[in-house]
A and B are shown apart, each in its own frame.
Chain A
Amino acid sequence: MRQLKIGTSWVRGIVGDALTPELVVNFASAFGTWCDGSPVVIARDTRRSAGTLRAATLAGLLSAGCEVIDLGVAPTPVVSFAVREMGVGGGISITGSHNDARWNALKFLGSDGTLLNLVKSEELLDIYHGSKFLLAPWDKLRPVETRSHWLIDRYLQYVLSVLDVDAIRKRQSRVVVDFCNGSCAEITSRFLAELGCTLLPLNEEPSGEFAHPPAPSAANMRQLASLMRCLEADFGAAVNIDGDRIGFVTAHGVALSEEYTLPLTARIRLKRRPGPVVTNFSTSRMVEAVAAGFGQSVIRTSVGESHVIDQGLAEGAVLAGEGSGGVAVLPSAMTFDALLTLGFLLEDLALTGESLASTAADMPQYFMRKRHLPCPPNLVYRVLDRFRAFYADSNPDTTDGIRLSWDDAWLHIRASNTEPILRIIAEAQSLTRADQLMEQAVTFARRAAFGHVEV
């Protein structure tokens, strides 16, 4: 099967297979049309295929008459910032983000610097499918602006302005950061220098040859965790390729699940500025405990950055994030931002004088189990429908797949946005209960998916 996924705010696929330059030109032309030919900011990550996608994106945008401001290799949050700073029509971040090196994608941002929400994505897709793109005549073509490094400087100033720089400087932290050979090494190194921290970089060459799978999960942070004791650092962090997700490792080399990123950030954010928090149905309940400590509520949405941020803006939230390690500090940042998240953790540790290990230990303990099963796209609806019937007594929420919630546990079964798989996530106060929920769901999924049992 040719691997292509068109989701809310992005199109991703395997390069050389379904993700062809023609497809990218068409999407960029459609986006240029959607922006009505106004200027667009672009950036790319370090993948080997980035040059190909950049050229195709430029061709499509230029043909629609857009001026293009090219940031070069830069993280997605910088694109979001530059779009707002320049007051332009939109942005495209060329990055496969947490996907492996075979994949690449275009992430589309609107003029407010957020990833396109559901409605805007549908507008873009309608233009794409209609294939009637804006085509500027020769004398209306605009240039590509590549002298835009000052926007990256401006972004750094902005991130620093949000933080208590003096407090962080006093702490003089030593931090190991695993960049997974992505886009963030240079900017993070400047950021930490400004904060008086010592950076011990890992996999910092922006080679696009990823040292490990890029998602900052505990499993992918094994190399980082194993080095912690020798490096005598305060803590370790792993950022994904385009700097929207981050995970943490303690000084003693315990890799925290990426589920910790949101509640750890909530601790300091809600202390500074109380307000609601938005997260998705698949994220750990830890954040509820932190929010409750500040008398705040947590609102849950469908899975996906654009959903949680869109909902966050609608609810006047001060934080929106997901269990994947992506956190947006609303309303000042409009995308998940690993650098800002790192800054908040540094500030929390500096102000409390605690270690990451003790801070993490304060979190209520939950046990989470995640599994995924291959599921052909044509079976998704049937499988989910059978699940709904199976759990009918437990009052399932069907906003995004099937979600069941009990006092001591929850279970979420949904189709992945990015891959042809079914994701099953269970979280409970005891490991036995989580295992039992997972076991039951997987067994049922297998039988329902392959139609062996009439339900």
Chain B
Amino acid sequence: MPRQNSLKIGVSGVRGIIGDSLTPQLVASFSAAFGNYCGAGPILIGSDTRPSAEMIKQAAIAGLLSVGCTPIDVGVVPIPALMLHVREAGAFGGIGITASHNPIEWNALKFIGADGITLRPNQAAELTDLYHQGVYSRVSAQEMTDPRTDGSTLERHRKAVISIVDEARIRDCRFKVVVDCCNGAASIATPAFLRALGCEVLEMNTDQSKPFARDPEPLPENIGALCDLVKKSGADIGFAQDADADRLAIVNENGEPLGEDATVALAVYHWLRHESGPVVVNSATTRMVDDIAQQYGCPVYRTAVGEVHVVERMLECRAVIGGEGNGGVILPVVNPCRDSFVAMALVLEALAQDRVPISELRSRLSRYVMMRDRLLCEPRDIAPLLRLIRNAYQREELDLTDGVKVLWANKWLQVRPSNTEPILRLTAEAPSEAEARSLLSDALEILSPS
């Protein structure tokens, strides 16, 4: 079998294809390096539902044990629940075995520090250095332990999330909810969580033993079946998660997807009514957030795209809430990471508090249309093309946090390089589709004049 170039060792961890680049040897070595990085202590290991999880997990356990760590296997759990458990239990670190939204032949190690946060870029660089040095401080047999198991992750997480909302008020509403868990890591946790909040739950794709039922990204085009069932069953709301349950998409009572942008906007809208403070989102997130924050007199800070950048900034400025336009909501009082359970709890509480349907809640927020395009681009062309955009719009307000973002009073255009593919991503948001479309076509004209 010819080796593809499928191994990615980067800020977000180690990703590769099973049966090809992500070998147990590599995983054992990386885990030994991570054990040395964290120190000899408890390290939690959780996974999503991929069939390769067991093989990868055993390799990780072997590497961790060899350097004197005590791996604690918490089983199949959503990533935010694992991160919370690491922090709450005082573990030295955690390893999440999940390739998130990648296709099923992939798997990955996601490294979590003792603070319950994915390793920051500089920390990840230190870990990678340790790995590449290839010499790990092993312990002798007498200092070795056996791996342990712990089944408390889901309950800890459920309690932590429910503790921030008015549980009784939500329970009183007896919401009828349809969930689509994509047969992912939240397949057991989400129905239990919603039932704890008094909801009547209709489950879709909650069989962990089955492969992913759809493309794991909760985009409108991937959740048609959920929309249909919400409409048919007369449910109050529909929720769709990705495979590791950090992102959430919402479907209204008419079976219409609100778009992943709406998730963070609704969460911010509701939370700022409770607690005011700074909001942090990435530079590609909807303007709705700015409008809402302005209403409450709260500042909005924007970062480069990538969860770790948002979290880092949130900790710096003591933000009360943050997130990303892809459906990721971050509420530091629970957990400094994207958490679809937090998003569900906030949206349900907003419905319970205002006693309105979700479509109405959505209509209170300003309306924008976001449009996207992409341009294939050799890595060497990225900088010159971004310079073209920058020069073309030099009279406008520019934000250079991630690529080039051009801001007007009620619309914006962003051109930025993708973190994962050799393309330029173009995003425009404006009050109308026509305006958004024209922003995009202007930009494309600048980048590749016809």
Contact = CB atoms under 8 A, between A and B. Distances in A.
Contact of A16 (B20, B23, B63, B141): B141
Nearest to A137: B19
A114 to B, nearest CB: 27
A101 interface: yes
A15 to B, nearest CB: 4
A138 B20 CA distance: 10
Contact of A63 (B24, B29, B104): B24
B19 A138 contact: yes
A436 B143 CA distance: 45
B230 to A, nearest CB: 32
A59 B24 contact: yes
B225 interface: no
Contacts of A438: none
A49 B138 CA distance: 12
A48 B55 contact: no
B58 A102 contact: no
A60 B24 CA distance: 6
A135 interface: yes
A354 interface: no
A55 B59 contact: yes
Interface in B14-33: 18-20, 23-25, 27-29, 32
A445 interface: no
Given A16-B138, A137-B18, A55 B62 contact: yes
A136 interface: yes
A138 B104 contact: yes
Interface in B349-406: none
Most-contacted residue by chain A among B32, B107, B142 (CB, 10 A): B142
A55 B52 contact: no
Given A22-B25, A55-B61, A63-B55, A49 B144 contact: yes
Contacts of B107: 138
A405 interface: no
Contacts of A383: none
A17 B145 contact: no
A98 B328 CA distance: 56
Contact of B28 (A16, A59, A141, A144): A59
B228 interface: no
A144 B55 CA distance: 9
B15 to A, nearest CB: 13
Nearest to A65: B19
Contacts of A102: 140-142
Contact of B140 (A15, A21, A53, A143): A15
A49 B141 contact: yes
B65 interface: yes
A55 B25 CA distance: 12
B412 to A, nearest CB: 41
Contact of B141 (A48, A59, A139): A48
Contact of A52 (B18, B56, B65, B105): B65
Nearest to B211: A139
Contacts of B172: none
B437 to A, nearest CB: 40
A29 interface: yes
Nearest to A24: B62
A62 B66 contact: no
Interface in A1-43: 14-17, 20-22, 24-26, 29
A182 to B, nearest CB: 14
Given A138-B18, A141-B55, A20 B138 contact: yes
A376 interface: no
Interface in A63-101: 63, 101
Contact of A59 (B18, B27, B51, B142): B27
A20 B25 contact: no
A140 B104 CA distance: 13
Interface residues of B, number: 37
Given A15-B141, A15-B144, A138-B105, A52 B62 contact: yes
Interface in B323-364: none
A21 B32 CA distance: 9
A144 B59 contact: no
A63 B50 contact: no
A101 B142 contact: yes
A144 B147 contact: no
Contacts of A63: 19, 23-24, 55, 59
A102 to B, nearest CB: 5
A21 B63 contact: yes
A75 to B, nearest CB: 19
B146 interface: yes
Contacts of B24: 25, 29, 56, 59-60, 62-63
Contacts of B56: 59
Interface string A145-182: 00000000000000000000000000000000000000
B55 A59 contact: yes
Interface in B39-67: 50-52, 54-56, 58-59, 61-63, 65-66
A136 B66 CA distance: 25
A300 to B, nearest CB: 35
B54 A20 contact: no
B139 A16 contact: yes
Given A20-B138, A48-B142, A135-B23, A59 B58 contact: yes
Contact of A140 (B19, B50, B62): B19
Contacts of B142: 48, 101-102
Contact of B62 (A47, A59, A139, A143): A59
A202 B51 CA distance: 44
A58 interface: yes
Nearest to A103: B141
A451 interface: no
Interface of B: 1, 18-20, 23-25, 27-29, 32, 50-52, 54-56, 58-59, 61-63, 65-66, 104-105, 107, 138-147
6 contacts: A14-B141, A56-B28, A56-B62, A63-B23, A104-B141, A138-B50
Interface of A: 14-17, 20-22, 24-26, 29, 47-53, 55-56, 58-60, 62-63, 101-104, 135-141, 143-144
The 10 closest A-B pairs by CB, nearest first: A59-B59, A56-B62, A59-B24, A137-B19, A21-B62, A52-B65, A62-B55, A51-B146, A55-B62, A49-B141
Given A59-B28, A62-B55, A135-B19, 17 more contacts: A15-B138, A16-B139, A21-B65, A22-B28, A22-B29, A52-B61, A52-B66, A55-B58, A55-B59, A56-B59, A63-B19, A101-B141, A104-B141, A136-B19, A138-B52, A139-B51, A144-B54
